[in-house]
A and B are shown apart, each in its own frame.
Chain A
Amino acid sequence: MATEQDTAQPYGEQSDLEQLYERLVETGLAKLAVYAGLGVFLVWTLFPVYWLVTATLKTRETLLSFPPQWIPFDAQLGNFAALFAQRPEFFQFILNSVIVTIVTTIIATSIGAAAAYGFVAFDFPYNLDFHLPFYILSTRFMPPIVTIIPLFVIYRSFGLVNTLPGLILTYVMFNIPFAVWMMKGFFEEVPRSIVESAMIDGHTHVGAFVKIVLPLVKPGLIASAIFTIIITWNELLFAIILSQNASAMTIPVGLASFITKYSVQWVNMSVAGTIALVPVLVFAFVAREQLVSGFSMGAVQK
């Protein structure tokens, strides 16, 4: 127990407050306070999400009733069907989101993984194997709003505004830096000797990469793909500007337009929001370990 060491200080000068703290530690009250603090933070973090999801089961009246209905006992399961009946264009938004997300994920993960392997496995002239990944990562720091005006002007002249390929191209760019950064770490773990002996056995380098290295980094590929899926599925800023009519709108834009157009239709909004939210939660659950370390350890290593 660390607390035993702490209290057994031979000549530590302790203030009254610290002595009080030690007393609290001895009685276990400090531990209780720690759990209480973490518990309150957890409730504050999760309750708003709970509130949205349960709103899908309420009626218009119970949704904003006073006092609030904490648990929706009379669940209105018909709310989901009602959304599609009243706003059929939502089907189109879902379809667009699915297409854009799948295509973006395949392209961005492939390009990112290939580049990451290239930088890990080969030596480049002029130290480029250090400079290029650094350049790739640094693009992530550029505020998207800076590129969006020129991109809009460029896309307009190529007829890419209001098209899914235009959105996909943007999202591929968005996701490559992260895929490169993530896959680099995984490829560095693969011993070079594995590739070398495969090539001695007569494999081409490409063959060794595809058949031997890629299967070894499958967890990394899955994690990059899930990050890409989440980012793409959620993206709003570029989607708002690059898809201005319903035929190319993804769920976030469609939902955003609902919110501003029919802001009093709370039940429909909540159902649509929950449909947007559930896939993200599912994928995040699958990749929860990589997400935690991606958000924390990555920062520590840098």
Chain B
Amino acid sequence: MATDTQFGSASEDAIVSAGDEGPRERLLLWIDDHLKWLLTLPAVLVLFSLTFVPLLRALEISLHNYIPTGRRFVGIGNYVDLLSNGDFHTSLWVTFKFVVAAVGVEFLLGFAIALLLNKKIKLRGLWQTLILIPMILSPTVIGLIWRLLYAPSGLLDFIIGQPLLGQNVGWISEPQFALISVILTDIWQWTPLVVLVMFAGLQSVPDHIREAAIMDGASRRQRFLHITLPYLKSLIVLVLIIRVVDALRVFAKVYILTRGGPGSSTNVISMQMYRVAFRFSNYGEAAAMAVSLLVVVLILAMSFVKIAGVEF
């Protein structure tokens, strides 16, 4: 019976009948013979030429010094210079503070909210859809929204600045607040991601494990510490890796909110790279920073996986 079924009877023109071997049919047969490469090579080639090739160029550029009239090979000179470059060190420290504070709060807050969402509640789907919104907005729009909130006499001054401190706070114009404000914006944007991922994880904890623990008389806290947490371990590592790697390369938010200032108080590493490359045209030094950043990202990702003993 099954072989009698007519599939796609409406597509006569794609049917090649035996013995009718015109150039069109030969072409179709040739395409079929090489189909797997025809389908997959474009993607592989585009990605290869736009990721691997630039990566090699970045390595090469990092070994040169760029001057208006051309460039000069300096070996690892740019890397050696980085070791004693104060601006670079400051940007590393700023990035470190940003990543630890932002990802830390995002994870704890997001996990807590996911636990709440995991209770039997109504309109859960709608709630999940609505909290997606910050994640899909353009960094420019996010920067604009928060500039509006941080503006002198803006909403945050009305809620926090005036009642608590009796004055307007220079949220993004004073060095001691600027980084906190950038971090707050990142928390606003990315906590929902942690919520969605951790909630999906909580939902995947098999019922029979929970029920067995309840039968054994495990308390809520015991169940959380000894069943839920170990079960979610690899997911926790994964979400932390995703967020840390993403936070390490933060650029657009800082660019719109503070341009790295005031002074160097929010000058994260990508901002420093941007300044060096596109304001001072020092491509060699910027490329050396970029390569170093990539190495750091790789080491971090691998050690996270090692520490947690997670297998992908």
Contact = CB atoms under 8 A, between A and B. Distances in A.
A212 B140 contact: no
Contacts of A145: 249, 251, 270, 273-274, 290, 293
B170 interface: no
B297 A141 contact: yes
Contact of B128 (A9, A44, A253, A292): A292
Nearest to B278: A241
Q: Interface majority SS on A: helix, strand, loop or mixed?
A: helix
Nearest to B234: A302
B149 A51 contact: yes
A60 B32 CA distance: 64
A25 B244 CA distance: 37
B176 interface: no
Contacts of B144: 52, 255, 259, 269-270, 273
A90 to B, nearest CB: 13
Interface in B119-169: 119-121, 125, 127-141, 143-149, 151-155, 158, 162
A99 interface: no
A211 B152 CA distance: 59
Nearest to A233: B138
Which one of A64, A143, A149, A205 has the greatest number of beta carbons of chain B within 10 Å? A149
Given A111-B43, A118-B39, A299-B239, A277 B134 contact: no
Interface in A242-269: 251-253, 255-256, 259-260, 263, 266, 269
Contacts of A212: 7-8, 11
Contacts of B136: 230, 234, 280-281, 284, 291
Interface of A: 2, 5-6, 9-15, 18, 21, 31, 34-35, 37-38, 41-42, 44-46, 48-49, 51-52, 55, 63-64, 66-68, 111-112, 114-115, 117-119, 121-122, 124, 132, 135-136, 139, 141-147, 149-154, 169-170, 172-173, 176-177, 180, 194, 197-198, 200-208, 210-212, 230, 233-237, 240-241, 251-253, 255-256, 259-260, 263, 266, 269-270, 273, 276-277, 280-281, 284-285, 288, 291-292, 295-297, 299-300, 302
